[in-house]
Amino acid sequence: MNIPYNLKKVRDVKLTETDLIEFEEEVKQKYEDAEIKAPVHLTKGNEKELIEIFQYVHPEDWVFCGHRNHCQALLHGVPRETLMDLVVRGRSMSVHSKEPKLYSSSIVGGTISIALGSALALKRSGSKRRAWCFIGDMAFETGIFYEAHKYATNFDLPLTFVVEDNNMSTNTPTDETWNYKKRDIPYGVIYYQYERGFPHHGTGNWVLF
Amino acid sequence: MKYKDEIIRSMEWLSEKDDTIFLGQSVLYSGNAIYNTLSTLPPEKMLEVPVFEEVQMGMSTGMALEGLVPISCFPRFDFLLRCMDALVNHLDKFQYMTEGVWNPKVIIRTSIGAKFPLDGGIQHTQDYTNIMKDILTEIDVVLLNEPEEIYPAFQKAYEQNGSSLIIEWGDYYNEK
């Protein structure tokens, strides 16, 4: 995984891979017990990469996520109980927080331009903080990503995109739809590949609600 | 005062606020009717952006999250349709999605394209006001029919919580 040279470690991440796995396992159990009446999108397989990335995310930075957001929220400092409460109340797809600053959206690519705007405002205010935008491989291919990335790069905005590539957009292989042999990774983008350990949504087990 | 003069007066009032910023295409360079309502404002309050409407709307939302009040200008209603995801799925759903934790304030300006003396044609003159009133649940939608409605509408948009979509009639710039 490439970390751009201009980024410095600013956080001592206390959470371990086991902590993240245990949180998602607890959500899995609650979902299978029909306690959660809304879709959940669980993380498994990229805990190590997320822990490494969050060493570069300042607690006062903005974090923007998609539907698979539990681990990013935990690593950014959303308390475990607060997050579990959101998830149990059916808010897994729109996990949010004021402090730390976090917004997630379940529309592919929907956070990209919002993250861009927050980065622009941060720069104009003279803040040292930055915005982080976690996106999947299909969002990475959208036109809005290239517009926003171009604008952020040309204006040197404090915005870092993190592309989490499991090559799946729901259950559609991204590389097949774009006929990719190899992807070019634009300047400044953190990119890693992983194999997802859970289905797109749910747990892989039949649940009777 | 006349319709266009009331809009200029409103923009001048908004520009005096420390937290406002005006963005869009032709906010700093001439090219459309909206420019003619902004040309007296300080250039440092202007952000000329590329033609990327969806990015512009999302960018306005993100700036508002950081405490700015963007006056995001879309020269024609027809062009606003290019940012429906950022408008309908995001800006308009922010309070619901974040349980009121975040409530970005964006003032969106657009205009129903003029038909006189030149008719801009079907892609430049449509009025989607009623559709917006139906589809937007959190954003206040205001159609400016009379000159005396204009200044209070922009005042309210700035002073209230949440975002507003304020729609002008291009034809009234000369008629009223």
Q: Which residue would you say has higher pLDDT here, B31 or A177? A: A177
Please give chain B's pLDDT, 176 residues, in tens.
Answer: 999 999 999 999 999 999 999 999 999 999 888 999 999 999 999 999 999 999 999 999 999 999 999 999 999 999 999 999 999 999 999 999 999 999 999 999 999 999 999 999 999 999 999 999 999 999 999 999 999 999 999 999 999 999 999 999 999 998 88
Reported as a pLDDT band with limits 50, 70 and 90, residue A187 is confident
- Partner residue facing A94 (CB), from B21, B52, B97: B97
- pLDDT tens per residue across span A18-74: 999 999 999 999 999 999 999 999 999 999 999 999 999 999 999 999 999 999 999
Which tokens sit at A130? 């930055």
- Partner residue facing B60 (CB), from A101, A103, A117: A117
B86, closest residue in chain A (CA to CA):
A110
pLDDT at position A209 over 80 = no
Q: Give the per-residue pLDDT at A206.
A: 86
pLDDT at position A200 over 80 = yes
Interface probe, candidates A118, A153, A161, chain B, greatest B C-beta count within 10 A: A118
Q: Give the per-residue pLDDT at A193.
A: 96
Q: Give the per-residue pLDDT at A58.
A: 98
Q: Give the per-residue pLDDT at B175.
A: 86
- φ, ψ at B35 (rounded to 5°): -55, -40
A107–B90 C-beta distance less than 8 A: yes
Q: What is the DSSP letter of B174?
A: H
Return the closest-CA partner of residue A198 out of A71, A16, A12, A53: A71
Q: Give the per-residue pLDDT at B88.
A: 98
The pTM is what? 0.97
A96, closest residue in chain B (CA to CA):
B98
Q: Give the per-residue pLDDT at A118.
A: 98
Q: Could you give the count of Cα atoms lying within 13 Å of B138 in the half-sphere of its Cβ?
A: 23
- Partner residue facing B59 (CB), from A96, A113, A122: A113
Using CB atoms within 10 Å of the CB of residue A63, give its burial: 0 to 12 exposed, 13 to 18 middle, 19+ buried: buried
Q: What is the ipTM of this complex?
A: 0.97
Assess A106–B contact: CB distance below 8 Å, yes or no. no
Q: Give the per-residue pLDDT at A207.
A: 86
Are the CB atoms for A188 and A156 separated by under 8 Å?
A: no
CA distance B57 to B84: 9
Q: Give the per-residue pLDDT at A54.
A: 98
Q: How distant, in Å, are the alpha carbons of A169, A194, A201 from that of A177?
A: 10, 19, 21
